[in-house]
Amino acid sequence: MAIEHLKQSKPEAEKKEEDAKVRSVVEATLADIEKRGDAAVRDLSKKFDGYEPEAFRLSQSEIEAAMQKVSTRDMEDIKFAQTQIRNFAEAQRASMTDIEVETMPGVILGHKNIPVQSVGCYVPGGKFPMVASAHMSVLTATVAGVPRIIASAPPVNGEPHPAIVAAMHMGGAHEIYVMGGIQAVGAMAIGTETIDPVHMLVGPGNAFVAEAKRQLYGRVGIDLFAGPTETQVIADETVDAEMCATDLLGQSEHGYNSPAMLITNSRKLADETLVEINRILKIIPTAETASASWENYGDIFVCDTYKEMLQVANDTAYEHVQIMTDRDDWFLENMHSYGALFLGPRTNVANGDKVIGTNHTLPTKKAGRYTGGLWVGKFLKTHSYQKVTTDEAAALVGEYGSRLCMLEGFVGHAEQCNLRVRRYGGKNVPYGQAAE
């Protein structure tokens, strides 16, 4: 049994060096936003986007004007996608119920699922205006019942992107801003003179946006670390090289540092996929970014067995995992670390990215080991409560609580329990001693 690393991406040390540079830039930029507020946001927008509007927040008339630029066909497609995403999000929300149970006579415990009170949704729009990200964040937050949803995307060609604005508005955004990159997530999280800070940041983005979210985590909540995008193809000889190469390069075009990985048990398929990738890179319009990603962040593993393929997949915990084998359901049953699975050749990552209904904001950089992707539940906080309705229960639980507190040396804690034993149980417990 052996695992051959047929094609390797650049060394981890080089990747870490790039990450360090990003980290430094983000730290300085966030500090500037905190110090100078709107002035910093305006300077950054001018520098990176060449955009200096009177106000970064769109008025209702500006929203309507942008939406009028969207073609009827595009608007129908956006509505179709939002219907699919809303339907699945509503089904997910229905699976989350409040509970209240009487665990013993007179003791009632429960929990409530309460929406986060304000959310900032970032929608990428640099090289590619990611209209679908508005559905995934804004619409899902709406289904969760978030009372204040603000959304921001960078300008495209010096103005708000019409389809992104339409998707944000139709998804339920209460405030729409035209800001990109670090300045967008920084302004939403930290707040400025004109933007009230939010409680949570969500949405994908490039390495700088992902790092900004990481540094802001704790000050605000975040959905997860999402970006740059990753794609993995797990395939055997039930599919051909064209299918594998197309699915690998479909995500590589996102940017110069988008990892793509093929895991197979067929050396023949691996070799043919390499040939097919070279062919496609000669004709795809986004070859400049796709080829850079594949050269520096592309990997191919050739394994002897399906178990080895599963091991590599779980160890690498990629964001998008396209599975095309004679045992797709076996992988579904046994995989435990990933962003989302795409099972069988009839579906693909682009379906999930744009229209099918599952959310496309997913964990990257092995975060799939400890979290799933963005979903309606990310916008909900589960809070517990308790109440004691009888004197007998108050005294009984108080006696146990008193002794357990004293076991740990917490006299003040014990007295909280003792007071209930005295008042509701009629027992004279000496101060600072455990109840009998």
Known binding-site positions for NAD(+):
122, 183, 206
Contact 192, 44 (CB under 8 A): no
First to last CA, the chain: 64
CA distances from 323 to 99, 110, 261 (A): 37, 40, 12
User: E strands along 138-250, which residues?
Assistant: 148-153, 175-178, 200-202, 221-222, 231-235
How many whole angstroms separate alpha carbon 229 and alpha carbon 289? 13
Read off the amino acid at residue 89. Answer: A
How many whole angstroms separate alpha carbon 396 and alpha carbon 339? 47
Query: Taking all residues of the chain, what is their mean pLDDT, rounded to a whole number?
Result: 96
Interhelix angle 287-297/267-281, rounded to 10 degrees, is: 150
In 3D, which of 409, 410, 431, 411 has the Cα closest to residue 421? 431
Global pTM value: 0.92
How many whole angstroms separate alpha carbon 47 and alpha carbon 67? 27
Residues 336-373 have pLDDT tens digits of 999 999 999 999 999 999 999 999 999 999 999 999 99
Instruction: Give pLDDT, residue 255.
Output: 84
Q: Is the dihedral of CA 176, 178, 179, 180 positive or negative?
A: positive
H or E, element range at 28: helix 12-36
Q: Per-residue pLDDT averaged across 267-278, rounded?
A: 98
Query: Which token pair is 295?
Result: 């050269």
Instruction: Give pLDDT, residue 338.
Output: 98
SS3 state of residue 329: helix
Instruction: Give pLDDT, residue 305.
Output: 97
Residues 94-104 have pLDDT tens digits of 999 999 999 99
Instruction: Give pLDDT, residue 16.
Output: 82
Query: Which token pair is 369?
Result: 């080991």
Q: Print burial letters for 105-140: b (CB count within 10 Å at least 16), e (below 16).
A: ebbeeeeebebbebbbbbbbbbeebbbbbbbbbbbb
Known binding-site positions for substrate:
229, 251, 254, 320, 353, 408, 413
Read off the pLDDT band of 402 (50, 70, 90): very high
How many whole angstroms separate alpha carbon 422 and alpha carbon 436? 12
Q: Does the structure show a pLDDT above 90 at 263? A: yes
Contact 297, 364 (CB under 8 A): no
Instruction: Give pLDDT, residue 76.
Output: 98
In 3D, which of 311, 295, 292 has the Cα closest to residue 234? 311
Name which of 51-65, 121-135, 327-341, 404-418 the model is least confident about.
121-135
Instruction: Give pLDDT, residue 127.
Output: 77
The percentage of the chain sitting over the pLDDT mark of 90, rounded to a whole number, equals 93
Read off the amino acid at residue 188. Answer: M
Instruction: Give pLDDT, residue 21.
Output: 93
Query: Which token pair is 356?
Result: 């099918």
Contact 228, 255 (CB under 8 A): yes
Q: Does the structure show a pLDDT above 70 at 1? A: no
Instruction: Give pLDDT, residue 23.
Output: 95
- Domains, the chain, with CATH or none: 54-223 (3.40.50.1980), 228-373 (3.40.50.1980), 390-435 (no CATH)
Q: Per-residue pLDDT averaged across 203-223, rounded?
A: 94
Instruction: Give pLDDT, residue 126.
Output: 75
Read off the pLDDT band of 225 (50, 70, 90): confident
Read off the amino acid at residue 115. Answer: P
Read off the pLDDT band of 2 (50, 70, 90): confident
In 3D, which of 247, 184, 245 has the Cα closest to residue 57? 184
Q: Does the structure show a pLDDT above 80 at 168? A: yes
Instruction: Give pLDDT, residue 205.
Output: 87
Residues assigned a catalytic role: 319-320
How many whole angstroms separate alpha carbon 323 and alpha carbon 310? 11
User: E strands along 154-295, which residues?
Assistant: 175-178, 200-202, 221-222, 231-235, 260-264
Please report where in the chains the tokens 């990747």 appear, as a residue: 15
How many whole angstroms separate alpha carbon 223 and alpha carbon 93? 16
How many whole angstroms separate alpha carbon 351 and alpha carbon 30? 35
